[in-house]
Every structure is written in C-alpha cells, then in structure tokens.
Amino acid sequence: MAFNAKILKNILYLVGAGPGDPDLLTMKAYKILKKADVVLFDHLVDAEILEIVPDSCLKVYVGKEPYADFTPQEDIHTRIAQYCQEYGHVVRLKGGDPYIYGRGFEELLFAEKLGIEVQYVPGISSMQGAGFHHIPLTHRGVSDGVWTLTGTKKDGRLSSDLQLAIQSNSTVVIYMGMKKLDEIARTYVMCGKGDTPAAILQHVTLPAQREVVCKVGDLLKASRDNGLSHPAIIVIGEVVRLHAANSCDILSNRQYKVY
C-alpha cells in the first residue's frame, strides 16, 4: 500500500514500555496511553499495561517473537501510516526503550517523511534490569563504563565490537545473544579472559525472572543445563562478582548457580 500524500494531522508516540514490570512504566507513558486511540504493541509488552488504554482504543499486535512468527517492519510502517491518517493519537508501544535495539528510529524517519508529528517517550531498558539481580552496570574502581552490543546484526553475525569491548575495563551487555553463547564464550577464551564473571538474565523484572551466574567460558553449558532461552540479556564483567551471592559462587569450584 502506497502512502504518497503528506499527512498534516495527528501524532505518533514512540513509547517505551520498560523491561516488563508494569510498575516501571513512566508517568508520561501512562498519561499518553490513557488518551490513546490506537496502540501498536510488541511481543514483550505486559498485558497489564494494555489495560491502561481507554475501552474505545484499538489494540493491534505487531510483535516480533525471536526465532518465531513476526510482523515485518514494512507492515508496521504501513499500519502506522494507515492509523495516523484515521485516528488522532497513535501509540507505538515497544518493550524496553524504542531507541535501544527497538528500531524505533526507523519508524520515526518513516513517519516524518509522511509529515506525521512524532514524540519519543523513553523506557527503562532491559539491561537496567540487571540491578534487580544486584548487578550494577558500573561501579567505581570496578567498571569504567558499559558496552552495549547486539548479539545478532542485520546479517546474522555477532557484533565485531565485542573484540574491542573485551579489552576494556567496562561491563559488556549483549542483547539478542542467546543463539551466540558459544561464539561469545570462545571469543573471550581466545582473548585469555574465559574466567570473566558473566550472568544470563531472563525475563528481567517479571515474577518469572531467572539468573544464571557463571564464568563467561561456561555460558553455553550453564544455559543448556538450566533451560534458559530468550528473552534474556548477557552481562559480562567484574560487576557480576560484586553481589555476595554471585561472588561466592564464581569463586567456588562450582561452575554456575541459578537464582
């Protein structure tokens, strides 16, 4: 479907729903959802958040479940154009933050070409959910910063920046990396850092959240032995060792522990 005419009315909100827990939604996001005419929502948006919208609001699922059924980005663009022509307040609701591996900026560029006004509303990213496992992303004297990498680029490869991140004194957080655990581990081992503490955090901030702490070289085994899969993030660095429960386990003879 082609949309050549300029759209000079209505507004698209790119809203971050946060990492999962509905209580972590921002007040601005809540207010926008309360007046939404249409909500285009992702796979990881909690059902309780969708209850905020008015009864008259049209709720449209446009999710992308990893390695399963997904809505092509082109179809999402078509729906954005369609609903912004027909309704007043259209909300594109994304898990986490729209601009952190959420393709939100692609949707902004598309909407702006059609003359649609766009407002961005940040959301808490899933990497910040590491704090719910008492893993700080930075800590004075331990981690100088954070490298945030994708485990799966557009061409399917692991980000080559991992080689650079390993050499830094910073925490490494990998999104969409559960299919690349073996490659991540081998990369660290080849750099002589296979004993670096690591954690796999699944369903962060939700009641079903799980954590596996291990040496980075054992990521694949720890994941398989404990049945962890996506959605999950991988946190690698000395910050994983800081929490007492994690520290004792990593320094023991056991390979990993599930919390």
Residues 208-221: b if buried by 16+ CB within 10 A, e if exposed: ebbbbbbbbbbbbb
pLDDT at 68: 60
Alpha-carbon distances, residue 36 vs 61, 98, 116 (angstroms): 15, 17, 16
| Contact of 246 with 240, CB cutoff 8 Å | yes
Whether residue 135 is found in the same domain as residue 199: yes
Whether residue 131 is found in the same domain as residue 72: no
Kindly name the residue from 59, 64, 193, 257 that is annotated as catalytic: 64
**Is pLDDT of 8 > 50?**
no
Residue 58 domain-assigned (yes or no): yes
Angle of helix 104-113 versus helix 73-86 axis, rounded to 10: 50
Residue-wise pLDDT tens digits, 42-96: 988 999 999 999 999 999 999 877 656 678 999 999 999 999 999 989 999 999 9
Q: Among candidates 159, 174, 152, which has minimal Cα distance to 67?
A: 152
Q: Among candidates 169, 135, 121, 149, which has minimal Cα distance to 241?
A: 135
Spatial strand order in the sheet of 89-94: 58-61, 38-41, 89-94, 11-16, 117-121
- Point out the domain boundary residue: 121, 138, 158: 121
Whether residue 131 is found in the same domain as residue 227: yes
| Contact of 111 with 76, CB cutoff 8 Å | no
Residue-wise pLDDT tens digits, 231-251: 899 999 999 999 766 665 544
Beta strands in 203-247 (DSSP E): 210-215, 232-236
**In whole angstroms, what is the distance from residue 76 CA to residue 118 CA?**
15
Whether residue 26 is found in the same domain as residue 117: yes
Residue 66 domain-assigned (yes or no): yes
Question: What is the percent of the chain with per-residue pLDDT over 90, rounded to a whole number?
Answer: 77
Residue 156's CATH number: 3.30.950.10
Residue 137 domain-assigned (yes or no): yes
193 is annotated as an active-site residue: no
**In whole angstroms, what is the distance from residue 77 CA to residue 75 CA?**
5
Residue 6 domain-assigned (yes or no): no
Residue type, 155: D
Residue 79's CATH number: 3.40.1010.10
Kindly name the residue from 21, 37, 42, 97 that is annotated as catalytic: 42
Mean pLDDT, the chain, rounded, equals 89
Domain count, the chain: 2
Whether residue 113 is found in the same domain as residue 177: no
Whether residue 159 is found in the same domain as residue 78: no
By residue range, what is the domain housing residue 231?
Answer: 126-258
Residue-wise pLDDT tens digits, 156-177: 888 889 999 999 999 999 999 9
Task: Determine the distance from the C-alpha atom of residue 69 to the mean position of all C-alpha atoms in its chain, rounded to a whole number.
Answer: 18
Whether residue 136 is found in the same domain as residue 242: yes
Adjacent-strand bridge partners of 258: 212
Whether residue 181 is found in the same domain as residue 240: yes
64 is annotated as an active-site residue: yes
Q: Among candidates 35, 34, 37, 41, which has minimal Cα distance to 14?
A: 41
Whether residue 173 is found in the same domain as residue 239: yes
**In whole angstroms, what is the distance from residue 198 CA to residue 246 CA?**
10
| Contact of 96 with 124, CB cutoff 8 Å | yes
| Contact of 172 with 130, CB cutoff 8 Å | no
Residue-wise pLDDT tens digits, 94-124: 999 999 998 999 999 999 999 999 999 999 9
